[in-house]
Amino acid sequence: MLNLSLNIAAQGDILTKLQEIAIIDQKVMMPMRDGIRLATDIYRPKTDKPVPVIFSRTPYNFNPYRDGKLNTRGFKRAYDAVSRGYAYVVQNERGRFFSEGEWDILGTPLTDGYDAFSWMAK
């Protein structure tokens, strides 16, 4: 029981640590060239300077709140990236969870990747 309590406290700590070092923008709707918007969470260092980006697109739910519980696995990845000077960007694939459009099991349009990188470069 004590181990479980310590684990829950440690999960909350990673979010606090991340908030101290990062600008966090969640559920940003990134536009694609055809007007579809893809749900995107952005974690970046607190700086106005350009930084390199670690980008992940997933068909899985990256929302940290599931079944009323906080899952901090994504926050840990974001913290690891931001603490090393990177922005961490995670995006739902077209048609999945908070993203608009239709999901295609054979893959998303190649233009979605190009559009995402073009948007992040701005």
Kindly list the domain boundaries of the chain, sorted by start residue.
2-121
pLDDT score at 2: 41
Fold observed for domain 2-121:
Rossmann fold (3.40.50)
Residues 27-52 pLDDT 10s: 999 999 999 999 999 999 999 999 99
Under a CB-based contact definition with an 8 Å cutoff, are residues 51 and 44 in contact? yes
Asked if pLDDT for residue 84 goes beyond 60, the answer is: yes
Tokens of 57: 């697109």
pLDDT score at 99: 93
- Does the model's pTM come out above 0.75? yes
Indicate the pLDDT class of residue 6, thresholds 50, 70 and 90. Answer: very low
